[in-house]
A = this chain, B = another copy of it.
Amino acid sequence: MAAIRLQDVAAHAGVSMKTVSNVVHNYPHVSETMRAKVQKAIDELGYRPNALGRRLATGHTGMLALAFSFVTIPYFAELAQVMTDEARKRGYRLLLEQTNNTLEGERAIVSTEEAGLVDGLIFQPAQMSPVELARHRGDVPLVLLGEGPAPVGFDHVMIDNIAAADAVTSHLIALGRRRIAFVGHEEGALAETSRQRLAGYQQALHRAGIPLDAQLLIASRTVSSHDSAEAVGHALDRRVSFDAIVSRDDLAAIGALRALQERGFSVPGDVALTGWDAIPVGAFTHPSLTTVQADMHALAVVALDMLEERISGYDGIGRHRLVDFELVIRESAPAVSAVS
């Protein structure tokens, strides 16, 4: 079935293409008679506008892209969901792109070989150096997410990881814990996310006058439940002792929980535990996870606001925004009052 074109409708209705176009777009200055006649032709022919033609002509596509490492990471799935809804609300369609957490993947995103496909890009980088990122050609409006490299001059949104890590660590301290481990950061080069969360953790310890014990920094080969379970398991087997764990994220916390339970430790009795990201399954582990929840809706709103400003021509300096977070207190590190 050859596609029906605007041209065909115009011929069928005996009017000009532009009039059909006007009807399709509900352009106000069209007489009722004409509108009815054209609409009839549209219906009869089953005409549907071709997105490409329209977009070529108008110069913008109504599509935005959101790029991050993997959709299979629950945090990003959630982000994708929230962003998609918020973008749709603003009349955009959101494409999801995965970088697979590789440098090439990220390069492919930023140096999009093909221009013109999307009106703007929201990107959470992890591998690229800020220097390289800064060389990004300015032709597509860009907003950066997360704690990764964010060269000055780019719009950027993140949550205050240091404050959040401080808050979550302080919560454990308030619970009376003193030997608080940090679990799940990378063994090798620390990602900026891990660095900041560690910094907040240290800050809270310091303020409480608790010395930092390097033994309690339990790194993991990769950021995953599997490697975190392994790392915590090893630590326990080496008789490293602690009474609380701040995990880099919920997946790490789930791994840690598993390692603890396998060895008969009770949570939060023996070891209190916190996660990060508030992934859905964290509410159904046993015990459920106390965690840090970024205000993801605000994140989406702020990011899209900035992106839309850029799209509509704003060309000022890079803005830097923090969005709020919230401690979600659940069983693995209960409220202070619940303990006393």
Question: B78, A46: Cβ atoms under 8 Å?
Answer: no
Residues of chain B contacted by A286 (CB below 8 angstroms): 257-258, 261-262, 286
Interface bits A120-146 vs B (CB < 8 Å: 1, else 0): 000000000000000001110000000
* B interface footprint on A201-212 (CB within 8 Å = 1, 0 otherwise): 000000000000
Stretch from A53-61, A180-188, A192-200, A214-222 contacting the other chain: A53-61
- Is there contact, CB below 8 Å, between A226 and B53? no
The smallest C-beta distance from A267 to any residue of chain B, in angstroms, reads 10
Inter-chain contact B281/A51, CB cutoff 8 Å? no
Task: Answer whether residue A293 sits at the interface, using C-beta atoms and an 8 A cutoff.
Answer: no
- A52 contacts B by Cβ under 8 Å: yes
What B residues does A49 contact at CB under 8 A?
A: 113-115
Return chain B residues, CB-CB under 8 Å to A261.
286
Interface string of A72-86 (1 = CB under 8 A from B): 101001101100100
A112 to B3, alpha carbons, bound, how many Å?
14
A290 within 8 A of B: no
Task: Report if A333 contacts B (CB, 8 A).
Answer: no
Q: In the complex, A49 Cα to B111 Cα: how many Å? A: 12
C-alpha spacing A80/B72, complex, angstroms: 8
Check if A95 sits within 8 Å of B98, measured CB to CB: no
* Nearest CB on B from A122, distance (A): 15
For residue A12, give the distance in angstroms from its CB to the closest CB of chain B: 18
Which residues of A (244-279) have their CB < 8 Å from a CB of B? 251, 254-255, 257-258, 261-262
Q: Separation in Å of the A286 CB from the closest CB of chain B?
A: 4
- 19 more A-B residue pairs beyond the given contacts A48-B139, A51-B117, A71-B77, with a C-beta to C-beta distance below 8 A: A48-B113, A48-B137, A49-B113, A49-B115, A51-B114, A51-B115, A52-B117, A71-B84, A72-B74, A72-B77, A80-B96, A84-B98, A226-B283, A226-B284, A254-B281, A254-B284, A254-B285, A257-B284, A258-B285
Instruction: Give 25 A-B contacts (CB < 8 Å), ordered by A residue.
Output: A48-B112, A48-B113, A48-B139, A49-B114, A50-B116, A51-B114, A51-B115, A51-B116, A54-B114, A71-B96, A72-B78, A72-B80, A74-B74, A80-B96, A225-B281, A229-B284, A251-B281, A254-B285, A255-B284, A257-B284, A258-B284, A258-B286, A258-B288, A261-B286, A285-B285
Q: Which residues of A contact B (CB under 8 A)?
A: 1, 3, 46, 48-56, 61, 70-72, 74, 77-78, 80-81, 84, 95-96, 98, 112-117, 137-139, 225-226, 229, 251, 254-255, 257-258, 261-262, 280-281, 283-286, 288
